[in-house]
Every structure is written in structure tokens, then in C-alpha cells.
Structure 1
Amino acid sequence: MPAHHPLPSPQPCPEAAGTDVVLDARIVLGEDQSLGIPVRFAYHRDDPFAVSLEFLGAAAEAGTWRFGRELLWEGLQRPAGTGDVRIWPPCTCHGRASLRIMLQGQDGSVLVDLPARQLRRWLRRESFALVPRGTEGSLIDWDAGLSGLTG
């Protein structure tokens, strides 16, 4: 009988193209009203500065939003962002343990509460393991980008 060897837990590796995580989020409808929805955060080496937030299920019409990975990380620590994407960290003084993201588009805005611990863990263990903070620029072919701009 062959020996049984436990499989290692999945870990992102440098050769991996990307990573994602599905989280249970809440769309804030009012002071004491919210709607539970699944969302997917994704990160890919071919776009090393950005993460995407995709609404799933009944909220899929809200689409997919792309914004800076560093903005998301900063928002876990302190209020961050201006314009279309604004992020607030958990606020224990108000009894809120979730990360709050406001997305503003041409058709309106949506306020989303996300589990901060799970998101922080995914960023640290998977996204930053795939491409460490501060090394994103090394994955960009700057010469090709400049060449494309100058014709």
C-alpha cells in the first residue's frame, strides 16, 4: 500500500498568473438595511498595480471595478481614495468591523461592506506573495508602452 502524504495547502507561486478570492459582502441600503451579496476580488501579474472587484449573483449588473491594489491596502489602514473609489477601514469606535468601499459611477453609487480580515489576509498571503509591494513596476514593459505611445 502506498504511503499517504498530505497535500500542502495551496500557496501562490511566482509562476502563477493571478489569484482571487470570493467574499460575502453587504450592499448598504440605509442606516440599518443591507443586502448580502458575493463579490470576487482578483489580482493578476499582467496588471500588477490593480485589483478588480466583481459583483456576483443578483448584483452582477454592478459590473467589475478596477482600482489600485495599493489604494485597497491603504484603505484597510486609514480612509483612502478620492473620486470614483473611496475606502474606509473598520471603525471599532462605531462597532463596524468591516471595510467599507464606496464606488461612484455615471449611473449612481454603491456602498459595500466587506470582511476586512479576509481581504487583508488575501492581500498579504496571496497578492503580495505573487507580486511583493513595491516591485510592481518591474513587471511592466516600459519600453513597449512608450513605443506604443510614440508610434
Structure 2
Amino acid sequence: MQVRLTFCGTDPVAVQAVFQIQGKETSWTFGRDLLVEGIRSKVGDGDVSVWPETPEVGDARLYLELRPPEGRCVVSLPRPQVKEFLEQAMHIVPRSAEERYVRSGLTELEMHLNQAGTFSGRKDS
């Protein structure tokens, strides 16, 4: 199973794990902080858990456990690559700056909704 992590600045508190399973893509979105904290110790008590392999060595693994209603899936990822992914994500949107990015996105959404609200429409009788 192939897994790709993605990050988008328009949703700065989340990352997405995209899985290739038998030619089909499926994704799971979860908090970026879970990966950040999971690099050092086990975190997560809901649908997603993350923990490092011990002891920490250069090519150590990071485990990502997903628990959908239908079962359970544990994925092993190379910790150095996850660290590099997180560094790139933090460069795009630094930790503790997420609110500013979310707020600007909400302001833009509000503007579009206000424009849509000016549509006269018609009244059905």
C-alpha cells in the first residue's frame, strides 16, 4: 500500500494521508499536531494514533494507526521523511500562525457568501 502525506495552507491545522489501494485513492484527514507530537511519543486517542519506533535511530519508523468503523489500519512511515514533510509544512504555515490563515480564509468565504446573498432570486408560490 502506498501512502502520500499532503498539506494545504488553506487548511493549516490538518494533513492528509492519501492511500493507493488497488488503483483507487482514499484519504484520511487529521490534525497536523498529531504528526508533530507523534514524532517523539505516542499521541491520539480517537480515530488516529501516531507513535515513533524506539529507540530513535536515523532510519526509524513512525506508525500511523487509523480506526474507521470498519476496522483498523496501521501504516509504517520513514520518520526522517515525515520530519522533512513537517518542516516544509511549518515553512508554509508556521505553528501558532494557523489562526491567521484560517481567519483570512473565513473572511474570503464570508465575502463570497455576502455576494451570493444579494441575488434577487424569485419567490415560488
Indicate the TM-score class for this superposition, using the shorter chain for normalisation. Answer: 0.7 to 0.9
Q: Which runs of 5+ in 2 are unaligned?
A: 114-125
Aligned pair 1:48/2:16, yes or no?
no
Q: Which structure has the larger Rg?
A: 2
- Percent identical residues: 33
Deviating runs (4+, > 2 A) in structure 1? 57-61, 141-144
**TM-score of the two chains, using structure 2 as the length reference:** 0.75
What is the root-mean-square deviation of aligned Cα atoms in Å? 2.4
* Structure showing the higher strand proportion among its residues: 1
Q: Distance in 2 between matches of 1:84 and 1:45?
A: 23
Superposed, 1:1-151 pairs within 5 Å as: 37-58=1-22, 60=24, 63-92=26-55, 97-124=60-87, 126-141=88-103, 144=107
Q: Which runs of 5+ in 1 are unaligned?
A: 1-36
Q: Secondary structure at the match of 2:76?
A: strand
**1:91-113 residue CA offsets vs partner (Å, 9 max, x unmatched):** 128xx921011100011110111
1:89 is displaced (CA, Å) by: 1.1
Q: Distance in 1 between matches of 2:66 and 2:34?
A: 13
What amino acid is aligned across from residue 94 of structure 2 in structure 1?
P
